[in-house]
Amino acid sequence: MINRLSSEFPFKPRFIENLINMSDEGNTVPFIARYRKEQTGAMDEIQIREVLERCEYLRNLEKRKAEVIALIDERGKLTPELKLSILNADTLSLVEDLYAPYKSKKKTKADIAREAGLQPLADFICISKELTTLYDEAKKYITDTVTDADTAINMARDIIIEQIGHNLEVKQRIRELYQANAVLSSKSAKESKERTAYEDYYDFAEKVSTIPPHRVMAIFRGEREEILKVEMEMDEELCINACATIAQNSGVELNQQTEKAINRAVKVMLMPSVELEVRGALKDTGEERAIEVFANNLKSLIMTPPVKNRVVLGLDPAFRTGCKFAVVDDTGLLLDYGVIYPTAPHNDYDGSKRTLQALIKKDKINAIAIGNGTASRETEEFVAQMIADIGVEVPYTIVNEAGASVYSASEVAAKEFPELDVTIRGAISIARRVIDPLAELVKIEPRSIGVGMYQHDVNKKKLEQSLNAVVEDVVNSVGVNLNTASVSLLGYVSGLNNSLANKIVQFREKAGRFSCREELLKIAGIGEAIYRQCAGFLKVYDGKEPLDKMFIHPESYEATHNLLNQYKLPAEHAALVRKMIKKSLPELAKDLGVGEYTLKDIIDNLERPDRDIRDTVDPVIFKKDVVNLESLSVGMILDGKITNVVDFGAFVDIGLKNDGLVHISALADKFVKTPKDVVSVGQRVKVKVLSIDKERGRVGLSMKL
């Protein structure tokens, strides 16, 4: 398996073998990626996961081969040739094709015909150009169960139908024809074609070879909701002719009986079976793509840099029940909360303005975060007018509040704010998403954050695995403050889980702040193995050991101190280390007893101990004015923020109730294969208004300025 993986990936066999062994021993992907670069050739998290996923597939393949061989052997039908074919199969689908003739526990018509001794008659039919003597030949097989020649011929034809239907070459050719020529079509399932999200598919057809995944997902969802009627169209004659050609090439003569058998095999066995396969493959591809898009968007969102030195007022808009507010300081500590009623039906502008004006003065609020749900734009208009009326410089931003209600009703929120109503907790979450998006969003189930499409249509387990991997990678890439991190954040750290995260917080609450990483070993359940996995990602600031605030692993402390001592550098001047080094890195690494990758990481961390990978990402966009549909005109240039990236383009928040859409064709002046190549969630962009659909509240945008 190692050799096969090394032929499929650009890594040496020893690196792949090391990776698989380390994973089998319980080492996490973030730990391997950061602290075991010498053993893997510096594979990153994505490469590691790709290799491990492929390894799992190949292991499942070998397991399935053994199962199929055992099942066929139980039925007494395993031949040396069949066993060899199964052992040499390189895909699960081929293993299932080989198993297909032996899969049914019930007797097929062909099985009954063979038991009646009609295999020789079937062979006779297959090698006969002319069938002038067929009836005479068929009469030889008349028995108590085979009552006449016609019955014998029909039963023999059942054998031929099954032989053709299970022929691997035929099945593969039909698959190829479907992939190249089949058309997926959809129509409105109802006579009245009222306007729905699926109206683009009321009269739609496209080849399966070219239809993009997002259209497949939309069509299949419309089918499940019984709004669309979906069919797969395929040329029967094309399939029959292909099948006949293969049969002829394998020695079967085309005569009246074999042609009937070929027609029957294609129409009843092959086409329905392959159509299900193709539909399944389209759905799988659509799901994989939807999960990939969601994961990319989630990563971009939680990579949004924290906002420093801001006291934030979070507003959770609503009409009838009022707009809930919460004020948090720059650490996320709750200062004030309550409800105002600035929108319909109350329209208490003056009272709401007085409340917020007093809060701004009292708590020194210097930023406002408005949730993007119901009444968001009306609340934004109120905030913009209020800021202008009271004459203060307090910018605001619109925050994606997806998942805030999930957090509000969660056990995590109940523990944080047991005395508060769930609606107030939602306002706190909105405010904290500005202070530190990552720290707040990890409290919410990733699939509830709402930056994907079709997340409710895909395999839940696969989606959760993918999204959890994204959050895990980002959390461990950013690092976690051991003395301030929440249970939710600690739970994503390499080697930890929610149970251990709770124990860490309980220990911290009882014993006080951690003075060094090593104190983790005092916690029940954290032994040497878990400590090795998590220690490098948990940072202690102003502790006993200066290296504890860096990504340098404790196992490299001795080498790091030796490096600093070699150049007589105290910890406070460690950033000068690169300038002091005179030797080559390979030579120095050998002297210190560490690998070159490890030494390079040590030097990088000493130079920039507070580096945050999120610093390279666009920060939160604050604004002071409001946009409405009536104020827009075609050709207008606007500032905006990417809120969602999908296969057909990107949605941009330009201050309207609904985000505008930049179609993939308008993303750049060059050909764009996939939108994620040029844009990402949270990115600041300038856009030009292309079209305005006031009836549906839609705005078409372009980034081609």
Mean pLDDT of 198-202: 91
460 pLDDT higher than 70: yes
pTM: 0.86
Q: For residue 420, count other CB atoms closer than 10 A to its CB.
A: 18
339 & 404 share domain: yes
Residue 144 inside a domain? The answer is no
CA–CA separation, 466 vs 473, rounded Å? Answer: 11
Look at residue 595 and tell me if it is in a domain: yes
What residue spans of 483-566 are helical by DSSP H? 487-490, 498-511, 528-534, 557-566
Cis peptide before 305 (omega within 30 of 0): no
Helices (H) and strands (E) in the chain, counts: 30, 15
Res 451: pLDDT = 79
One domain, residues 533 and 574 = no
Asked if residue 163 has pLDDT above 90, the reply is yes
Residues 562 and 534 in one domain: no
User: Domain count of the chain?
Assistant: 5
Does some domain include residue 238?
no
Burial class (CB in 10 A: 0-12, 13-18, 19+), 369: buried
Residue 288 included in any domain:
no
Q: What number is the average pLDDT over the span 207-236?
A: 95
Residue 556 and residue 533 in one domain:
no
Assess whether 323 and 427 both reside in one domain.
yes
| Res 625 pLDDT > 70 | no
Place of tokens 């009271």: 390
pLDDT score, position 631: 78
Helix (H) or strand (E) holding 5: helix 2-8
Are 637 and 696 in the same domain?
yes
pLDDT band at residue 192 under the 50/70/90 scheme? low
Among 550, 569, 585, where does a domain finish?
Answer: 550
The confidence score (pLDDT) of residue 617 equals 79
Mean pLDDT of 229-243: 97
Residue 654 lies in a domain: yes
In a domain, residue 112? The reply is no
Chain-wide mean pLDDT for the chain?
93
Q: Please, which pLDDT band fits residue 626 given cuts at 50, 70 and 90?
A: low
Give pLDDT, residue 187: 94
- Overall average pLDDT of the 383-397 stretch: 92
Domain boundary among the residues 550, 567, 583 is at 550
Lowest average pLDDT, out of 195-204, 287-296, 416-425, goes to 195-204
Nearest-CA neighbor of 370 among 429, 314, 301, 423? 314
Residues 543 and 558 in one domain: no
pLDDT higher than 70, residue 77: yes
Per-residue pLDDT at 457: 86
Ordered strands of the 203-207 beta sheet? 203-207, 183-188, 228-233
The whole-number average pLDDT for the span 157-183 is 97
Calpha distance 5→19 (Å, rounded) = 12
Structural domain span for residue 67? 2-102
646 and 686 inside one domain? yes
Which pLDDT value is given to residue 502?
Answer: 96
DSSP one-letter code for 265:
I
In a domain, 515, yes or no: yes
**Do 570 and 531 have their domain in common?**
no
Q: Is 616 domain-assigned?
A: no
Within this chain, do residues 316 and 430 fall inside the same structural domain, yes or no?
yes
CA distance 651 to 400: 13
- Predicted confidence at residue 373, as pLDDT, reads 86
Phi and psi of 137, rounded to 5°?
Answer: -65, -40
Same domain assignment for residues 563 and 637 = no
CATH number at residue 7: 1.10.10.650
DSSP-assigned letter for residue 200: G
Q: Are residues 416 and 492 in the same domain?
A: no
The answer, yes or no, to whether residue 598 has pLDDT greater than 90, is yes
Last residue of a domain, one of 102, 130, 160: 102
Name which of 491, 492, 549, 493 is nearest 517 in CA terms: 549
